[in-house]
């Protein structure tokens, strides 16, 4: 175990500062701020780039929640969403929401930390280190959460009409229905994955050593594309789970979409099995597992394409700019015992040693020797 006192202090100070600022802005309740501080402390120490990604998610999610807050409150009433200061347009997230969006990412970060011997070393995703699989798990967990957050918070504001139910695209449902999708929501989910991918790449450029980023340009481009794509994939997985396992209803008295049954609530879709937080947890888990299954194979193929196979014909390595020839002399020494007749010798009575002498001769030197 190679703990770094400097990185521990750095993580504690950064996380404490961010938690205080976001709590004062109204992004979290007190329980949410404390829970987030604990999770982000482990995330920050595991890899400071992970904290950079998490900050991007928190800031973008807070902005999306505040944007069009009054309009969303007239259309949607999320029963498990604590609203503080309606006039100040603030929606505070409690410990349960923080856990369901950050606990899985923290688990991936801790697994990454164990692979780096708890040193807090920042390593890029390049499929050369065992920690890559956990970096992928962490990154695409946040990609799913951010894509779904922007899709639900901003898609409902910018969509020109009501969304359509994912399990029945021909059915138009009220705004705020779990499983409802729109073109604007899909575009914002792509954008959510994109900004998380950009933040991860920028974080690597800042905190990773330059020698670790050699020959990673193609992987970086692919990673950015897949982050963007998985922002949409994660949002669709969340919508599918929400449409099937999460209750959505329309309250006729208040004219809002609700997530719990009631006397004046008309059922729209889904069963009352999972809450919104639980759907977020399961969707991020499924998205990260899907990414872990797909992304490493793609990165491995990219690395293999970069290294063409060595072609050796007639003792010449044709991949070298300066061609080399190999002269090999093989000698075999056989030792026998004098007291045994030659006609009675067996294989067990022989001691055989083989020696190979290889000489590398530069082709130009050989040509010069021929001239002389």
Give the end of a domain, one of 273, 306, 339.
Answer: 306
Residue 28 DSSP symbol: B
CA distance 31 to 17: 16
pLDDT category, 355, cuts 50, 70, 90? confident
Q: What is the pLDDT of residues 237-255, one digit of tens each?
A: 999 999 999 999 998 888 8
Q: Are residues 180 and 323 in the same domain?
A: no
Give the mean pLDDT of 1-28: 87
| Residue 267 in this model has a pLDDT that exceeds 70 | yes
Q: Packing angle between helix 132-158 and helix 217-245, nearest 10 degrees?
A: 60
272 phi, psi to nearest 5 deg: -85, 70
Q: What is the pLDDT of residues 116-135, one digit of tens each?
A: 888 878 888 876 778 889 99
CA distance 188 to 61: 12
Half-sphere exposure of 23 (CA within 13 A, CB side): 17
Query: Distances from the Cα of 249 to the Cαs of 172, 264, 330, in angstroms?
Result: 14, 9, 84
Cβ-count burial of 31 within 10 angstroms (0-12 exposed, 13-18 middle, 19+ buried)? middle
Q: Is the pTM of this model over 0.75?
A: yes
Residue 343: domain span: 313-371
Helix (H, G, I), strand (E, B) or coil at 105: helix
Give the end of a domain, one of 283, 306, 329.
Answer: 306
pLDDT category, 7, cuts 50, 70, 90? confident
Q: Are 360 and 326 in contact (CB under 8 A)?
A: yes
Q: Are residues 250 and 163 in the same domain?
A: yes
Q: Are residues 343 and 236 in the same domain?
A: no
| Residue 364 in this model has a pLDDT that exceeds 50 | no
| Residue 278 in this model has a pLDDT that exceeds 90 | yes
pLDDT for res 219: 82
CA distance 153 to 66: 9
Q: Are residues 291 and 333 in the same domain?
A: no
Give the end of a domain, one of 277, 306, 335.
Answer: 306
**Domain count across the chain:** 2
Residues listed for the chain: 372
169 phi, psi to nearest 5 deg: -60, -20
| Residue 286 in this model has a pLDDT that exceeds 50 | yes
């Amino acid at each position: 175990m190679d703990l770094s006192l400097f990185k521990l202090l750095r993580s504690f100070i950064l996380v404490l500062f961010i938690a205080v600022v976001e709590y004062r802005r109204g992004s979290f309740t007190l329980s949410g701020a404390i829970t987030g501080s604990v999770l982000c402390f482990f995330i920050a120490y595991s890899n400071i780039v992970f904290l950079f990604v998490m900050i991007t998610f928190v800031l973008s999610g807070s902005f999306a929640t505040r944007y069009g807050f009054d309009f969303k409150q007239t259309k949607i009433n999320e029963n498990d969403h604590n609203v503080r200061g309606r006039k100040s347009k603030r929606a505070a997230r409690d410990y349960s929401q923080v856990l369901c969006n950050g606990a899985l990412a923290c688990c991936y970060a801790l697994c990454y930390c164990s692979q780096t011997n708890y040193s807090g070393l920042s390593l890029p995703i390049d499929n050369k280190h065992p920690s890559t699989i956990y970096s992928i798990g962490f990154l695409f967990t946040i990609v799913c959460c951010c894509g779904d957050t922007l899709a639900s918070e901003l898609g409902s504001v910018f969509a020109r009409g009501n969304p359509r139910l994912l399990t029945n695209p021909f059915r138009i449902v009220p705004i705020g229905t779990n499983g409802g999708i729109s073109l604007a929501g899909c575009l914002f989910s792509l954008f959510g994955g994109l900004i998380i991918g950009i933040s991860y790449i920028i974080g690597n450029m800042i905190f990773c050593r330059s020698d670790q980023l050699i020959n990673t340009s193609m992987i970086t481009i692919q990673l950015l594309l897949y982050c963007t794509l998985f922002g949409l994939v994660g949002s669709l997985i969340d919508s599918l789970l929400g449409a099937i396992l999460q209750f959505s209803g329309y309250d006729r008295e208040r004219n809002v979409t609700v997530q719990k049954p009631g006397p004046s609530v008309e059922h729209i879709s889904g069963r009352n099995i999972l809450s919104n937080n639980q759907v977020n947890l399961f969707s991020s888990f499924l998205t990260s597992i899907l990414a872990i299954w797909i992304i490493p194979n793609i990165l491995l193929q990219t690395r293999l394409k970069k290294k063409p196979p060595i072609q050796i014909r007639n003792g010449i390595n044709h991949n070298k700019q300066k061609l080399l020839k190999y002269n090999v002399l093989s000698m075999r020494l056989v030792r026998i015992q004098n007291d045994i007749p030659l006609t009675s010798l067996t294989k067990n009575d022989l001691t055989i040693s083989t020696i190979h002498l290889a000489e590398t001769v530069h082709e130009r030197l050989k040509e010069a020797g021929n001239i002389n």
